[in-house]
Amino acid sequence: MGSLNNKHVLLGVTGSIAAYKSADLVRQLVDAGAEVQVVMTEAATGFITPLTLQTLSGRPVRQTLVDVEAEAMMGHITLARWADVILVAPAGADFLARLVQGRAEDLLAAVCLAADCPLAVAPAMNQQMWANAATQDNLATLMQRNIHVLGPAEGMQACGETGLGRMMEPLQLVDDLMKLFKTGELAGLRVLVNAGPTREDIDPVRYISNRSSGKMGFAIAQAASEAGATVTLVSGPVSQPTPERVTRMDVYSADEMYQQVMAQVQSNDVFIACAAVADYRPLTIAEEKIKKDHVEIALSLIRNSDIVCAVTALENAPFTLGFAAETWDVENHAQQKMATKSLDMIAANRVGEAGSGFDSDDNALSVYWPGGSVELPLASKTALARTLITHIATRYYEKHSAQNS
């Protein structure tokens, strides 16, 4: 699997003869581990059929902005929030011009305008159209807006002319897309992440646990790795695949997670405590299955060790970010937890709301640190993780700069 593993790639296809390459591009993106959603302009359908791209991507191709069923849920906004990256390939001269103007009269343009994820374009046009001053001015404007321009390549064109304007080959585009996720923000640092739930046995067949899927913690581990860190992930029992270039250690109970984290943490620069660790465990574990012999039974619980407090109490504690899953009064509870546990940062979210938090691919976070905060709106957990890593890197270097000054 490539480094686009689990990434949501929205591929925009515009009207150009180079659209025939989009079929191979979809296949290469899928082979690299990405989930691909194709959005086509009306002109693009004259060069390649939506059915072809739907078959290769495994997802229905989106074409219409005014789609009653999709727009009932603000479909263009949903697509923009779903995407970890948008790649328009091929991107014709007309689309580049409309992108500069902020036009939104078709679905692809509207999605690009509504997105807050990285946006890349792969130009494809006649060599003279490419050289035209208007096109070059548009490209300069797009690059000033941090839109990534991939290509074009030079060579024979469909019109019979030779020069710059060919869309880059799919393999090169996939490689360039991978590089967008390698930020280097944590280059040279060692990061420890814990994730998922723990299980506290009651008897040989029952246990106490929670609804954590581990998705957020695993996304953070992947984002930290993409940012250049050496990452160790201590995970409770989950079914998530191990992120690339991440060392994973599986544990079962809160005590096992405590032991593993404490064994690893002092060799790390950053600790991200994302796991939903059980606060309590049964005082005793029954050796045999407890039978239904009584209408009521009492279960005595004892408190587990607090992993985060143990880490921040260390003499040379790493930069530590904690998580707070709250059902009400999120800000006050998060601020109190940050203070009482001596955290450098805390990421809080309201659980129990449909479409975010536990059992969801999406989340929204309120992030606090002493003297500041930022709201991270609802997005995929992979996109959210990368944004969170950027804030962690900023606060980490600010702290160490202040300590060394």
Domain of residue 12, CATH code: 3.40.50.1950
112 is catalytic: no
CB 41 within 8 A of CB 105: no
Number of structural domains the chain divides into: 2
Instruction: Give the rounded distance of the alpha carbon of 177 from its chain centre.
Output: 15
| 202 belongs to a structural domain | yes
Does residue 241 register a pLDDT over 50?
yes
Q: Among all chains, which residue has been given the structure tokens 């902020």?
A: 102
Q: Identify the active-site residue in 112, 159, 274, 309.
A: 159
Residues 374-398 pLDDT 10s? 999 988 898 899 999 999 999 999 9
Task: Supply 104's token pair.
Answer: 């939104």
pLDDT of residue 69: 58
Let me know whether 145 and 241 are in one domain. no
Tell me the C-alpha distance between 180 and 95, whole Å.
22
Total number of residues shown for the chain: 405
Give the three-state DSSP class for 221: helix
| Opening angle at CA 110, ends 107 and 111, nearest 5 | 85
Pairing of strands 319-326, 153-156: unpaired
Tell me the C-alpha distance between 249 and 257, whole Å.
9
Last residue of a domain, one of 179, 203, 220: 179
pLDDT of residue 258: 98
Range of the structural domain that residue 69 is part of: 8-179
Residue 38: its H or E element: strand 35-40
CB 90 within 8 A of CB 130: no
Q: Which of 362, 262, 248 is nearest to 311 (CA)?
A: 262
| 3 belongs to a structural domain | no
Let me know whether 212 and 271 are in one domain. yes
Mean pLDDT confidence for 156-181: 89
- Looking at the chain, the whole-number percentage of residues with pLDDT higher than 90 is 77
pLDDT of residue 1: 42
Pairing of strands 162-166, 153-156: antiparallel
Name the pLDDT band for 138 (thresholds 50, 70, 90).
very high
Tell me the C-alpha distance between 186 and 216, whole Å.
19
CB 351 within 8 A of CB 318: no
Domain of residue 278, CATH code: 3.40.50.10300
pLDDT of residue 67: 62
CB 124 within 8 A of CB 130: no
Q: Is the peptide bond before 118 cis (omega within 30 degrees of 0)?
A: no
Let me know whether 225 and 353 are in one domain. yes
Tell me the C-alpha distance between 205 and 267, whole Å.
37
Q: Is the peptide bond before 241 cis (omega within 30 degrees of 0)?
A: no
Let me know whether 204 and 89 are in one domain. no
Let me know whether 153 and 218 are in one domain. no
**Torsion on CA atoms 385, 390, 391, 396, rounded to nearest 10:** 120
Does residue 399 register a pLDDT over 80?
yes
Tell me the C-alpha distance between 405 and 401, whole Å.
6
What is the rounded end-to-end Cα distance, in angstroms, of the chain?
44
Let me know whether 49 and 194 are in one domain. no
Residues 342-377 pLDDT 10s? 999 999 988 766 555 676 788 999 999 999 999 999
Report the amino acid identity of residue 221.
A
Q: Is the peptide bond before 90 cis (omega within 30 degrees of 0)?
A: yes
pTM of the complete model: 0.74
| 1 belongs to a structural domain | no
Helices first, then strands: H and E counts in the chain: 14, 19
238 Cβ neighbours under 8 A, 6+ residues apart: 195, 196, 197, 212, 213, 214, 218
Let me know whether 208 and 167 are in one domain. no
Mean pLDDT confidence for 276-285: 96
55 Cβ neighbours under 8 A, 6+ residues apart: none
Mean pLDDT confidence for 91-95: 96
Let me know whether 136 and 195 are in one domain. no
- Look at 246 and 81; give whichever has higher pLDDT: 246
Residues 1-59 pLDDT 10s? 457 877 899 999 999 999 999 999 999 999 998 999 999 999 999 999 999 999 999 99
